[in-house]
Amino acid sequence: MIIAFLGDVVGKSGRRAVALAVPRIRAEHRAALVIANAENSAGGFGINTESILEMKEAGVDFFTTGNHIWDKREGIALLDTRADVVRPGNYPAPGPGRGAAVVPGTGGRVAVLNIQGRVFMPPLDCPFRTIDRLLDELPDGVTVRIVDCHAEATSEKIAMGYYLDGRVSMVLGTHTHVATRDARILPGGTAAVTDVGMTGSFDSILGVRKDEVIERFLAMRPTRFEVAKRDLRCDFVVADVDDATGAVQEFSHHQIKLED
């Protein structure tokens, strides 16, 4: 089974990039399943019905999120109504949504799990102990297990990869919007990358207009952030997974330049 995972989709520009990239990814890489981190897909912060449906129409099958999932009220409601969206599972209970789900249409073979780091981020429940619990709660027969580790610190994401090596198919770092060049298969057969990167405008600072971010650094005051529009690209990884064992046979990182 060939699975593609898209780095953080940022705003309308990111959704435009998804619409252009996903058909190419399916055709060129023969991807049977496409997953995307959607936490910034609605105006740069959070999700809403429009952003999810637009990416579904483009061919994305499933969505992970992160700390910005709480930024739009409508997006919070979607966590309980959509079977194709998960949020970090280590937010304290009780709360809307879930941290793991079996992907619809995969015959119970593929599960996606979402976890959030704690280094330089809010002090949530332990991501390592939480991922153990989420794995224990999966139904029998789920052989392909994909983990979105949404975290700031590279060390925490790398540690999660080694912690889960041999127990999951992939540990994919998200959150920083900057792709790392360390995509690899660990000794136990788990594919890992510290950060997949971003889908959206690269004429930007992390998908946001450059002038607005620079102004915040200079003035040290809040400024309005607007999603940038130019130089659309898509960072993504592709894995060839043995769906009988869950081990990854091939794993690679890619970037497509889509529009100037």
**Which positions are catalytic?**
68
Q: How far apart are CA 78 and CA 225, in angstroms?
A: 24
Q: In angstroms, what CA-CA distances link 70 with 5, 10, 40, 212, 255? A: 22, 15, 11, 23, 28
Q: Return the residue matching tokens 């400024």.
A: 223
Write out the DSSP string of 118-178: -TTS---S-HHHHHHHHHHHSPTT--EEEEEEE-S-HHHHHHHHHHHBTTBSEEEEESS--
Q: Which of 197, 189, 177 shows the shortest CA–CA distance to 237? A: 197
Q: Residue 105 gets which letter from DSSP?
A: T
Measured distance CA(162)–CA(188) in Å, rounded: 9
Q: Pairing relation of β-strands 198-201 and 191-193? A: unpaired
Contacts with 166 (C-beta within 8 Å, 6 or more apart), sequence order: 186, 187, 188, 189, 190
Pairing of strands 33-37, 2-6: parallel
Q: Which of 200, 130, 123, 207 is nearest to 164 (CA)?
A: 130
Cα–Cα distance, 212 to 205 (Å, whole number): 9
